[in-house]
Amino acid sequence: MICFILVSLYCEAQYSFSGYINPDEWQNTVYLSIVEDYRKMSGVYSEQIFAKTLADETGFFEFKGDMLSTENRIYRIHVDKCSETQQDINHFNGHCSNSEELLFIAKNTDTLKLPFSFGNQVFCKVESNNPRANAFLKIDSLKNDMRFAYGEVRSEANRKLNNKKWFTTLQDYGTALNEPVAELAIYAYLSDRSSDLHSYYVEDLQNNSYYDDLKERLETAYPNAPYTAQYRNELAADRFMLASTEDSKSASFDIYLYTVLALSFFLNLFLLYRMWKNKQSKSEDLKSKLSKQEQVVLEHLLQDKTNKDIAEALFLSVSTIKTHTNNIYKKLEVQSRNDVKSLFIK
């Protein structure tokens, strides 16, 4: 009797994650990962994978065991279309364009089933005894609504209005999920430095108690989880950065401004002097290629005088002026009067 009870307890402590894939579309290797860094929720990372199994000819697969945490954690199941030689490379890079993944919340005693959805789509539906297992699917559904709202009118005004609206909407939705681990997916999205929403996060962090409330919820529900420590450290680092930035701006703005103005003034003087010297030097170098008479003719050419005008001014014939002009073109390697002017007049 005691043995039966022990066996029963052991069986009850097992997890079972099963489902179907389309064997005609995917490789039959299915991977199970634990996500302990919420900045690495999307993608494929070799260090997160702790189990793999083969789907049978019907596409059915199952992961079973008793080694998971007794608390909720973030897990990922994924399949891909990579060959065996490509898989290690893709997993190492953290990205596989030919993969399909599902994030879910589970613990050691949970049962999770992933049946086919419409059109034999994989990982679109979650059936679990853990009511929080499909939190990430709900978040993804909300993000799809958000993308649709952005796409209705493609303009800067629409983008800014939607940024403000959806920043608050996502935060409120995360709180309503009543699962701080799932909220971290939203926090990671809103605070991503590469996102358009990051500027709203920086502003919001200074006056919204939401972030301290989330920290309190995490510390209460998951005091020893890696996500809690990561969030606590990130929050402290971002606030320290903001405080340092504000103090630095306040203390050094005037000095910075006057320094920039002074440097700009002297730099402009220096550049003007260099330009003048370069122009003078270049003009002298070009003129040195010409004879004395050709230099005199050049000065008249630069004044837009005709050959006849130059001939009368220098008491020479028009044909002589033409000869000097052609010699000037040849020595300066130009084709016309406009070309000559471009060398000396800026």
pLDDT at 9: 44
pLDDT category, 339, cuts 50, 70, 90? confident
Q: Residue type at 145?
A: D
The b-or-e profile of 308-343 (16+ CB within 10 A means b, else e) is eebbeeeebeeeebeebbeebbeebeeeeeeebeeb
* pLDDT > 50? residue 7: no
Is the pLDDT assigned to residue 131 strictly greater than 90? yes
CA torsion angle 191 197 198 201 (round to 10): -70
260-309 pLDDT per residue, tens: 777 777 777 776 666 665 666 666 777 777 888 887 887 888 788 888 88
**Looking at per-residue confidence, does 31 or 159 come out higher?**
31
Is residue 316 very low, low, confident or very high in pLDDT (cuts 50, 70, 90)? confident
Burial class, 182, CB count within 10 angstroms (exposed 0-12 / middle 13-18 / buried 19+): buried
- Where residue 150 falls (left for φ over 0; alpha for ψ -120 to 50; beta otherwise) is alpha
Do 167 and 159 form a contact (C-beta atoms < 8 A)?
no
Higher-pLDDT residue of 98 and 135 is: 135
Q: Which residues pair with 60 in a beta bridge?
A: 20
- Does 5 score more than 50 pLDDT? no
Dump pLDDT digits (tens) for 65-107. 999 999 999 999 999 887 655 555 555 455 556 788 999 999 9
